[in-house]
Amino acid sequence: MNNSFVVYRRVRFGDCDPGGVLYTPRIGYFVVEAVLDFLADRLGGPAERRILDLGIYPPARAFSVEFLKPMAWDDELEIHVSVKQMRTHAICFSVLGSVAGERTFTAELTQVCVSAETRRPVTIPEPLRLALSEDESS
């Protein structure tokens, strides 16, 4: 994956169901946290603060995940994040997870740029578009 950002995260005991595998809803946290780390890297500081400073909120419009292999307590995940597509008002992120070189999940998260004042969709602010444009793969 070209221009991807990598995050490492260990599956903790509390992330697992009684059977010792990753509890399904926890993957949402992993994906959102990885995207925020990616944005923080590209924006040069805490993602939430930088995005709010642009006068926007980034609510999720869509989230999908496909589990390919179980993830268990103490597995170290390697999570790759990249921009799949930038639209007028939205950014679609591709998130790929692996353990020991084996793909465990694929996910996509689409976030919409919404005005902090009107709560209506707005064009992606230019500083955000520029910070992410080097990673756009389509």
pLDDT tens digits for 33-63? 999 999 999 999 999 999 999 999 999 999 9
Residue 4 has a pLDDT of 80
Report the b/e string of 87-121 with b at 16+ CB within 10 A.
eebbbbbbbbbbbeeeebbebbbbbbbbeeeeeeb
- Are 78 and 8 in contact, with CB atoms under 8 Å apart? yes
- At the topology level, CATH places domain 5-133 in Thiol Ester Dehydrase; Chain A (3.10.129)
Closest alpha carbon to 105 in 70, 129, 76 = 70
Q: Cα torsion at 56, 57, 63, 67 (round to 10°)?
A: 100
Predicted TM-score of the model (pTM): 0.92
